[in-house]
Amino acid sequence: DAKTTQPNSMESNEEEPVHLPCNHSTISGTDYIHWYRQLPSQGPEYVIHGLTSNVNNRMASLAIAEDRKSSTLILHRATLRDAAVYYCILRDVGNEKLTFGTGTRLTIIP
Amino acid sequence: NAGVMQNPRHLVRRRGQEARLRCSPMKGHSHVYWYRQLPEEGLKFMVYLQKENIIDESGMPKERFSAEFPKEGPSILRIQQVVRGDSAAYFCASSPQGTHHGYTFGSGTRLTVV
C-alpha cells in the first residue's frame, strides 16, 4: 500500500476553519484518497473520499493537488465535537483493506 | 436504520478462556471487516468476510483466532485461550457489495484479559 504522511498533531480554535494536510507522493493512478476520523472511545468514522477532483459533503471538503501527491481535508467551522484523530488512507481499486497510519490528533481550543 | 452493532461493548476474560465478539452489519451490507487496535497503537486489519466466505485473512494471527460470517446471524470473531496480549479494542466494519465508498464502523468491543 502507498504510504501517507500526516502531522502528528494540530490545534485549532473553535469556529475557525481547519486544514489537515496529507502527503502521498507515491500514490498510484488507481488509489482513492479516503479520510476517516476516530473520536475518543469510538470506532472510526468515514469522512470523505476522492480520486482526482475536489469533493464536498456535509462533513468536510477534500482538496486534492493536481499531481495527486498531496491532499487537504478542510473542516469549514470546527466545533469541539471535531476533536479526534484524523486518518488519511490510500485505497486501491479492488483492495478491500484499509491501512491506518498514526493520523493527526486534532485538538479544538474553545 | 441501525448502524453496525457490536456486542458486547466490554468483555473481561481470564487467561485461557475463550472470547466471542459479535458484529451485526448494517442492513443491506454483505461485506464485513474486523480490525484490532492495541493500546496506544493504530488500527490493524484482521479479516474480510462475505456471507459464508472468508475473503482475506492476511491480518489474522495464525493461531487461536478465527472468524465467520454465517448465512444467518452476525459475524463472530473468536479468540481461543486468550492471553494478556489479546487485550485490545476490536472493531467491525461493513460495506455494501461492489462499492468503493466508505465503511461504516461499529463502536467496538473492548477486550480485557486478566
- pLDDT of res. A33: 95
Pull the grid cell for residue B64: 487461536
Interchain CB contact of A21 with B (< 8 Å): no
Q: Which residue of B has its CA nearest to A42?
A: B107
How far apart (Å, rounded) are the C-alpha atoms in residues B110 and B7? 10
Interface of A with B in 40-79 (CB under 8 A): 42-47, 49
In terms of CA atoms, which chain B residue is nearest residue A44? B105
Residues A82, A106, B102, B85: is their CA dihedral positive or negative? Answer: negative
> Does the pLDDT at position B96 exceed 90?
no
Put residue A6 in one of left, alpha, beta given phi > 0 → left and psi -120 to 50 → alpha.
beta
- Interchain proximity B43–A93, CB inside 8 Å: no
CA distance B94 to A43: 12
Q: What mean pLDDT is predicted for residues B89-102?
A: 84
CB contact under 8 A, A36 and B102: yes
Task: Verify whether the Cβ–Cβ distance A97 to B102 is below 8 Å.
Answer: no
The pLDDT tens digits of the residues spanning B15-58 come to 999 999 999 999 988 899 999 999 878 899 999 999 999 999 99
Categorize the per-residue pLDDT at A73 as very low, low, confident or very high, splitting at 50, 70 and 90.
Answer: very high
Cβ distance of B48 and A96 shorter than 8 Å: yes
What's the burial of A89, exposed, middle or buried (CB within 10 Å: 0-12/13-18/19+)? buried
- B53, amino acid identity: N
For B60-86, how does the pLDDT look when each residue is reduced to its tens digit (9 = 90+)? 999 999 999 999 999 999 999 999 999
Give the 3-state DSSP-derived string for B30-98, with helices as H, strands as E and coil as C.
CEEEEEEECCCCCEEEEEEEECCEEEECCCCCCCCEEEECCCCCCEEEEECCCCHHHCEEEEEEEECCC
Residue contact B44–A98, C-beta within 8 A? no
**Is residue B98's pLDDT more than 80?**
no
Select from A37, A38, A89 the residue whose CB has the most chain B CBs within 10 Å, as the one to mutate to test that interface: A38
Radius of gyration, alpha carbons of chain B: 13
Q: Does the distance separating the beta carbons of B31 and A100 come in below 8 Å?
A: no
